[in-house]
């Protein structure tokens, strides 16, 4: 599938200590909320299964995971779940999970989702282990990361395009913007390729958030926990919130960090992200302008112009790179946007832009590859294809006219996302999916009483704007911890003792901070 993508705010994890993940439900006044526990099928055989833990090395699906999983501190297992929860006796899926066992007096399991959708909980937990192991949560909890349906070591796994196709820019664009799908035949080809990679149409249409929420409750039971303790970042806040309203009696503690806004449609949320990314770029340009060698110039008002002058020529003439692949426009833009998720990465982005001005593309390509989960061996992770496929079952499908209108809104909200090419109509990437989305309406309603939940939200988060945290806490009647800073994600990253102490007190002792509590990064 040849296409020209328009990169924007990235939709997944991948950067060290940053939770690069976004998502949103599709509000619809006529829609229905997620299914509740009262309508769940009899899953006793799955709840009562005995997990067999073993070394994690065979579970690695990327070069990075091969290195991470070769650690005796972890053990791994596969959990059986119905492929289709409406048919518990039918085909099964296998959910892969990684555990770091508690070093001290164990409370239970703390299940982690890093976001996406499409982020690997196994990889994220292994990556964060050096930070979490010395913390109190490493003493008191078995920390468990799992790969949701479509992702990593779990089956079904979605892998619609080959590594070579991804390298050539022929796969999904890894953004929240519309794919350039020219016609119905191309849309059918996408759906068929994704179905074939997952093991058939039935597998492809059963990997939405609704299914993962059910998997999460089976995981709780299979781990031997009467109630779930959960840590969710970005999209993980959506997953956790839906679980809380679906299984309120099964929640012990739920920490939602970098909360998505349950009051926005996916299109509205995309535009809000564009605003956030542009704000981060403007802040970076202002910092850079005070230095004489700033690649964006000394006038912040002309930084967007300087940025386009640097990168737009790459659409026709990619920059050379050491590995011979070259730096294309969209790879460069993706690398830049990934670095805008935290002001701590601004210097790296600026070095990459300086290098590009000097005619080399290695650093920006490295930032792109880190986001795209591309290893030095050429293997790509499953994040981007899983994200698209999961959202095909979560989100309403736009018409070609709506696709074009969204792109215009994003360009207006964030001028750096304008590649200079005319806006044209295109098919939705999910247009030929075998079934319609498995949910309509907002992902939570606020109509269900849930246990006390802690929501943490960074004031200048470019990926999940602060208002989303405010709205999430209000709708769930939870407690909001506001964190002053400029990055995506804050809790238990080892960056703020204030945030980490409040998060620890809540997860271990169920002690919530006072109203209006604030920390900084």
Point out the catalytic residue in the list 180, 488, 496, 500: 488
Determine the average pLDDT of the residues in 305-312.
97
488 assigned to active site: yes
Distances (CA, A) of 194 to 85, 152, 184, 197, 493: 21, 15, 16, 5, 34
Spatial contact of 434 and 204, defined as CB atoms under 8 Å apart: yes
pLDDT, tens only, 369-378: 998 889 889 9
pLDDT, tens only, 39-82: 567 899 999 999 999 999 999 999 999 999 999 999 999 999 99
Tell me the H-state helices in 25-120. Answer: 44-47, 63-69
Interacting residues of 239 by C-beta distance below 8 A, sequence separation 6+? 113, 117, 209, 212, 213, 216, 232
Determine the average pLDDT of the residues in 489-493.
96
User: What pLDDT is attached to residue 345?
Assistant: 94
Check pLDDT > 50 for residue 2. no
Spatial contact of 83 and 103, defined as CB atoms under 8 Å apart: no
| β-strand pairing of 251-257 with 228-233 | parallel
Q: How far apart are CA 171 and CA 151, in angstroms?
A: 16
Domains of the chain: 1-521 (3.40.50.1820)
Point out the catalytic residue in the list 197, 229, 234, 457: 234
331 assigned to active site: no
Place of tokens 């799992």: 146
pLDDT, tens only, 12-51: 333 333 433 333 333 333 333 444 444 567 899 999 999 9
The DSSP annotation for 462-505 comes to SSS-HHHHHHHHHHTT-EEEEEESSBS--TTSSS-HHHHHHHHH
What is the reported pTM?
0.90
Point out the catalytic residue in the list 389, 461, 466, 500: 461
Tokens of 291: 């230095």
């Amino acid at each position: 599938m040849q296409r020209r993508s328009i990169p924007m705010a990235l939709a997944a994890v991948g950067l060290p200590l940053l939770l690069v993940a976004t998502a949103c439900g599709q509000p619809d006044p006529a829609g229905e909320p997620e299914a509740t526990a009262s309508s769940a099928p009899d899953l006793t055989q799955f709840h009562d299964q005995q997990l067999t833990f073993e070394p994690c090395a065979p579970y690695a699906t990327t070069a990075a995971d091969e290195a991470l999983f070769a650690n005796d501190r972890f053990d791994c297992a596969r959990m059986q779940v119905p492929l289709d929860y409406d048919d518990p006796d039918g085909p099964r899926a296998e959910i892969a999970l990684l555990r770091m066992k508690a070093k001290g007096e164990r409370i239970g399991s703390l299940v982690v989702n890093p976001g996406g959708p499409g982020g690997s909980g196994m990889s994220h937990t292994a990556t964060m282990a050096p930070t979490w192991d010395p913390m109190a949560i490493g003493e008191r909890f078995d920390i468990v990361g799992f790969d949701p349906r479509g992702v990593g070591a779990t089956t079904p796994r979605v892998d619609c395009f080959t590594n070579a196709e991804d390298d050539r820019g022929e796969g999904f664009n890894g953004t929240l913007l519309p794919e350039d799908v020219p016609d119905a035949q191309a849309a059918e080809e996408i759906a068929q390729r994704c179905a074939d990679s997952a093991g058939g149409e039935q597998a492809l249409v059963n990997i939405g958030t609704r299914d993962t929420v059910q998997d999460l409750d089976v995981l709780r039971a299979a781990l031997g926990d009467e109630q779930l303790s959960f840590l969710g970042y970005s999209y993980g806040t959506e997953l956790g919130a839906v679980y809380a309203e679906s299984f309120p009696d099964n929640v012990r503690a739920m920490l939602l960090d970098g909360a998505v806004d349950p009051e926005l449609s996916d299109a509205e949320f995309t535009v809000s992200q564009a605003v956030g990314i542009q704000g981060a770029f403007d802040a970076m340009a202002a910092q850079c302008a005070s230095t004489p060698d700033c690649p964006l110039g000394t006038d912040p008002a002309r930084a967007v112009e300087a940025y386009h002058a640097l990168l737009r020529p790459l659409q026709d003439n990619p920059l050379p790179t050491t590995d011979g692949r070259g730096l294309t426009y969209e790879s460069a833009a993706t690398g830049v946007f990934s670095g805008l998720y935290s002001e701590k990465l601004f210097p790296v982005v600026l070095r990459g832009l300086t290098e590009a001005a000097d005619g080399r593309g290695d650093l920006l390509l490295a930032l792109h590859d880190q986001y795209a989960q591309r290893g030095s061996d050429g293997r790509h992770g499953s994040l981007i294809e899983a994200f698209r496929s999961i959202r095909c079952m979560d989100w309403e499908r736009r018409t070609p006219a709506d696709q074009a209108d969204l792109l215009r809104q994003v360009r207006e909200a964030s001028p750096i996302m304008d590649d200079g090419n005319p806006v044209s109509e295109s098919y939705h990437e999910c247009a030929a999916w075998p079934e319609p989305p498995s949910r309509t309406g907002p992902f939570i309603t606020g109509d269900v009483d849930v246990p006390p939940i802690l929501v943490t939200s960074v004031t200048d988060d470019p990926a999940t704007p602060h208002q989303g945290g405010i709205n999430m806490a209000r709708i769930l009647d939870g407690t909001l911890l506001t964190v002053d800073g400029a990055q995506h994600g804050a809790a238990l990253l080892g960056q703020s003792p204030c945030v980490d102490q409040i998060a620890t007190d809540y997860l271990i002792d169920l002690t919530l901070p006072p109203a209006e509590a604030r920390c900084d990064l």
